[in-house]
Amino acid sequence: MSQEPQDRPYAGLRLMHVHAHPDDESSKGAASTARYVAEGAEVHVVTCTGGERGSILNPKMDRPEILANITEVRRQEMERARDILGITQHWLGFVDSGWPDGDPKPPLPEGCFGLAPLEESVAALVRIVRAVRPHVLTTYDERGGYPHPDHIRCHEVSVAAFEAAGDPDRFPEAGEPWQPAKLYYHHSFNRPRMQALHDAMQQHGLESPWEERLKDWKPEPEWDARITTRVVCDRWFGVRDQALLAHATQIDPDGFWFAIPRELQAEVWPTEDYELVTSHVEAPTPEDDLFAGLLDHPDATGGRI
Ligand SMILES: [Zn+2]
């Protein structure tokens, strides 16, 4: 069945998510990704590292032959998730820094993404941004979403590349300048959402997976007030879940990811949430669309604005 143009309002627009590891694209913003793809946008994911140092978090996959081939296994998982989400995916080419376990934390391993010179990783991302020419770029907030060194680094690299990609004096060997119009941070993992889902589970007499987590997580109203943009995407929660399951070494199908019925999630919190950090187009907030301000004039974004 062919789609009518009105079903593809985002045709011609490009969104780029920059993530630290394979699986982050499926656990953060995946339903909005699937929605934009369904409605005509091109969505590109840049994965900074190969996830080589990730632990196996699904007991059913914790087997020696999987661990011995973890880099290749995670690459194949990423390919499946990519196909499920309908995205194009690019590897930035750096090695996972691993989660530094211990107190004090051990130094990061030599040659990892967290230790790579910033100029080098920014140049690599600028090259991809200039080749793909996204209108919108997303990344993590300055805390990394959670404090994995690769997530913090992903934030630093993405923000620097957003600033540099449109500047002809920066990285002149990395392609024709291109300035993405909007920069967002992911904010879907927010406390009010977790509380709302927790309360709804209890009201329905179901066991909430978030009891302990909420006890340890102090309310941060000022942080939550940074959310500017809520993208309704509950129709694509099923696609998000399939993409998550594709990362079989990282996602336990019997774990907390799937503890809350999808219908309840749709009823209680049907959006994925973002913070608009920089916009070179008119885009009053609050808004409900990462492409707000771009639908009428996507061509207005070439060069520095
Ligand atoms: Zn990650």
Domain count, the chain: 1
Distance (angstroms) between ligand 1 centre and the Cα of 118 equals 19
Distance (angstroms) between ligand 1 centre and the Cα of 102 equals 19
Distance (angstroms) between ligand 1 centre and the Cα of 21 equals 5
Share of the chain above pLDDT 90, in %: 90
Distance (angstroms) between ligand 1 centre and the Cα of 143 equals 13
Q: How much is the pLDDT for 62?
A: 94
Mean per-residue pLDDT for 158-166? 98
Answer whether residue 300 is part of any domain.
no
Distance (angstroms) between ligand 1 centre and the Cα of 149 equals 9
Mean per-residue pLDDT for 172-188? 98
CA 33, chain centre distance (Å): 9
129 closest CA partner among 50, 240, 14:
14
Q: How confident is the model at residue 19 (pLDDT cuts 50, 70, 90)?
A: very high
Sheet holding 182-186, edge to edge: 88-94, 42-49, 14-19, 136-139, 182-186, 271-279, 229-232
pLDDT digits (tens, 9 = 90+) for 81-138: 999 999 999 999 999 999 999 889 999 999 999 999 999 999 999 999 999 999 999 9
Distance (angstroms) between ligand 1 centre and the Cα of 295 equals 31
Which structural domain range is residue 181 located in? 9-189+222-293
Distance (angstroms) between ligand 1 centre and the Cα of 283 equals 30
Answer whether residue 199 is part of any domain.
no
Q: How much is the pLDDT for 195?
A: 98
Reply yes or no on whether the pLDDT at 45 is more than 90. Answer: yes
Distance (angstroms) between ligand 1 centre and the Cα of 299 equals 33
pLDDT digits (tens, 9 = 90+) for 273-296: 999 999 999 999 999 999 999 997
Distance (angstroms) between ligand 1 centre and the Cα of 246 equals 15
Answer whether residue 299 is part of any domain.
no
Binding residues for Zn(2+): 21, 24, 151
- Cα 20 to Cα 17: distance, rounded to the nearest angstrom: 10
Mean per-residue pLDDT for 46-64? 94
CATH number of the domain bearing residue 83: 3.40.50.10320
Distance (angstroms) between ligand 1 centre and the Cα of 20 equals 5
Answer whether residue 87 is part of any domain.
yes
Angle (CA) 191 196 201, round 5°: 125
Binding residues: 21, 24, 151
The answer to whether the beta carbons of residues 73 and 249 sit under 8 Å apart is yes
Distance (angstroms) between ligand 1 centre and the Cα of 6 equals 36
Reply yes or no on whether the pLDDT at 162 is more than 50. Answer: yes
Q: How confident is the model at residue 55 (pLDDT cuts 50, 70, 90)?
A: confident
Q: How much is the pLDDT for 154?
A: 98
Reply yes or no on whether the pLDDT at 6 is more than 90. Answer: no
Answer whether residue 153 is part of any domain.
yes
Q: How much is the pLDDT for 303?
A: 40
* Whole-structure pTM value: 0.95
Q: How much is the pLDDT for 5?
A: 72
Distance (angstroms) between ligand 1 centre and the Cα of 24 equals 5
